[in-house]
Amino acid sequence: MSVDSPQTEPEAGPPPLLERMKRSPVTFALAAINVLVFVLVERAGSSTDAGTLLRFGAVERTHVLAGEVWRVLTPMFLHIGIIHLAWNTYASFGFCTVVESVLGRWRFLSVYLVSGIGGAAASALVWSRVGAGASGAMFGILGATLALRYRILGSAAALPRDPYVRSLVGQIALWTVLGVVVLRFDHAAHFGGMAFGLAGGLAATSRRRALPWAVIGAMLVALVAAAARPGAVPDESTANDAMGFAKLWLAPSKEGFVRDVPRATRLADLACRSDDAPACFEIGRAMMSDADTAVSSRGRAIVTRACDAKVAAACRLLE
């Protein structure tokens, strides 16, 4: 005599793509924007060229110091190469869709944008390379995920015991180690974004949201102001970077740079705010030799400034 085994319900698989798009439209819209921007960048040059990336809004410390503060917003929509774009898009479908389904469209978008801006501002504050990518915003969503787990579990003490939290923290630790040892990730952007994402996730799930969002806004403004430092005197390294970029925008020769005199002038002004008078002289001399009369005149004024700072070569050039 035999007994039939009990029938079990089949496990539910992931929802179809169309259903996921309906549940998380902002996530898919952001991914579409990233792909569109990538195509535009590739048509204009190359997404791996520093000049092309900077033209489309990549973050870079000296450009932000020179007054291009809007660069704390735009990098989250840029990617460096197809693999970078593909990885962040794939990761967004895994993490962002879940957070958006819990928070709703507008709260999710707020956390995403705040994280992206916070990550880019942190990058501009401490990182010296050209940076781009949605990673700051994505790490912000990881921070928001931790905030949601905290709300679900009810206490911070329960977090270390939660298998999902341990897995997530393990992934973050792995990518951090790989970024230090092998890939040179922009950890300032990652952890700056994560901090704002964690705060944003807590604010978005708070009963009284106005005050925590006001605090986050004030912190974000303070971070952006610290990155931009209007009127600050740059150090020698920053002055030399500004001089180098100014020359590339003035007489482009590689990596997707195009002639951009206003940007070159802003960077020259930044170099001349420094105590490093030779950097000021170098860019002034380059501008003096320019065929454009207005640029040449501006260059002479910069060389005069270097002469006043006791750069002998500048004084000889003016004779």
Question: What is the pLDDT, as a whole number, of residue 1?
Answer: 36
Let me know whether 72 and 198 are in one domain: yes
Q: Is 190 a catalytic residue?
A: yes
Let me know whether 287 and 183 are in one domain: no
Distance CA 169, CA 167 (A): 6
Mean pLDDT of 5-13: 43
Helix, strand, coil tally for the chain in percent (to 5): 75, 0, 25
Let me know whether 78 and 154 are in one domain: yes
Let me know whether 163 and 260 are in one domain: no
Please say which residue of 189, 205, 228 terminates a domain: 228
Mean pLDDT of 297-304: 92
3 pLDDT tier (thresholds 50, 70, 90): very low
pLDDT, tens digit, for every residue of 63-78?
999 999 999 999 999 9
Residues facing residue 59 across a β-bridge: 131
9 pLDDT tier (thresholds 50, 70, 90): very low
User: Helix, strand, or coil here: 100?
Assistant: helix
* Active-site entry in 84, 135, 187, 274: 135
Query: Average pLDDT of the chain?
Result: 89
Q: What is the CATH number of the domain that holds 185?
A: 1.20.1540.10
Contact, 290 vs 303, CB < 8 A?
no
Q: How many domains does the chain have?
A: 2
Let me know whether 97 and 219 are in one domain: yes
Contact, 79 vs 47, CB < 8 A?
yes
Question: What is the pLDDT, as a whole number, of residue 127?
Answer: 84
Residues facing residue 131 across a β-bridge: 59
Let me know whether 223 and 242 are in one domain: no
Which burial class, exposed, middle or buried, applies to 93 when counting CB atoms under 10 A from its CB (0-12, 13-18, 19+)?
middle
Distance CA 132, CA 74 (A): 8
For the ranges 55-69, 105-119, 148-162, 173-187, the lowest mean pLDDT is seen at 173-187
CA distances from 115 to 19, 167, 190, 318 (A): 26, 22, 9, 49
125 pLDDT tier (thresholds 50, 70, 90): very high
User: Would 85 be classed as within a structural domain?
Assistant: yes
Question: What is the pLDDT, as a whole number, of residue 15?
Answer: 63
Decide if pLDDT at 30 tops 90: yes
Model's pTM, two decimal places? 0.89
User: Would 10 be classed as within a structural domain?
Assistant: no
Q: Is 135 a catalytic residue?
A: yes
Contact, 188 vs 125, CB < 8 A?
yes
Let me know whether 120 and 267 are in one domain: no
pLDDT, tens digit, for every residue of 244-282?
999 999 988 888 999 999 999 999 999 998 877 889 899
Let me know whether 285 and 171 are in one domain: no
In 10 A of CB 220, how many CB atoms? 20
Decide if pLDDT at 89 tops 50: yes
Decide if pLDDT at 108 tops 90: yes
Let me know whether 241 and 211 are in one domain: no
User: Would 313 be classed as within a structural domain?
Assistant: yes
* Active-site entry in 63, 79, 84, 190: 190
Decide if pLDDT at 51 tops 50: yes
